[in-house]
Amino acid sequence: MAGRVFLAAALFVGLVLTALLHDFLPLRLKNNPLDRAKGWKDLATEAHKVREQIGANFVVADEYQTASLLSFYLPDRPRTFTPDWPQVMTQYSLWPSYRETYPAGSTALYVAEQPNPLPPIARDFESVRIVGTYRRTSWGQPMGPTFHFYECRGLKVGQPTTWKDRLEYTRQGQKP
């Protein structure tokens, strides 16, 4: 009998936790660590609309997490990029950059939390202008940061920053 009570209690607790963790209920918990996992599909849907409007060839995001999630949730699962920094910062730094992948003159959609584009973006394109903003939602309630969509026209190819350049730059910065 005690085993059945324990099993019933365990199933009940499991169902309640599953409902909470999978956002089945519109509960707003303060400082919920799972909030950062919500709303990315909606952001990607909005980014896809903007990407089609401006005719962007590729997508760049200010953070590697955003780039990764957009790559996963965008309908065509494109290869996404982060800004072409000279130092090794993430795995994206080791892969070929957009400057190595796309021809001069290409257009990009840049998705960023910052209200101003990062220096590599301003350096790499002839013109950068904001074309919209979006804030993720859960159950109709805004959450997380506001994302800014930028139209980046006229990719300047020039000398790409290769992974070897980044590695050397990083090593130089670590020498005393």
Q: For 35-83, write each residue's pLDDT tens digit.
A: 666 678 889 999 999 999 999 999 999 999 999 999 999 999 888 999 8
Write out the H or E segment, with its range, that includes residue 43. Answer: helix 40-54
**Cα Rg of the chain, angstroms:** 21
Mean pLDDT of the chain: 82
Query: What confidence tier does 13 reach under pLDDT thresholds 50, 70, 90?
Result: confident
Asked if residue 94 has pLDDT above 50, the reply is: yes
Q: Of 113, 124, 110, 49, give the one whose Cα is nearest residue 82.
A: 110
How is residue 171 written in tokens?
């090593």
19-28, 137-146, 158-167: which is most confident: 137-146
Q: From edge to edge, which strands make up the β-sheet containing 125-138?
A: 80-81, 58-61, 108-112, 141-155, 125-138
Q: What is the pLDDT of residue 72?
A: 94
pLDDT above 90 as % of the chain? 38
Q: What is the pLDDT of residue 165?
A: 61
- Give the Cβ contact number of residue 3 at 10 Å: 7
Arithmetic mean of pLDDT, 153-158: 87
- pTM score: 0.74
Q: What is the pLDDT of residue 162?
A: 61
Arithmetic mean of pLDDT, 73-102: 85
34-43, 69-78, 89-98, 157-166: which is most confident: 69-78
Q: What is the pLDDT of residue 25?
A: 57
Q: What is the pLDDT of residue 176?
A: 45
Bridge partners of residue 128, in order along the sequence: 152
Higher pLDDT, 16 or 118: 118
**Residue 124: φ, ψ to 5°:** -85, -10
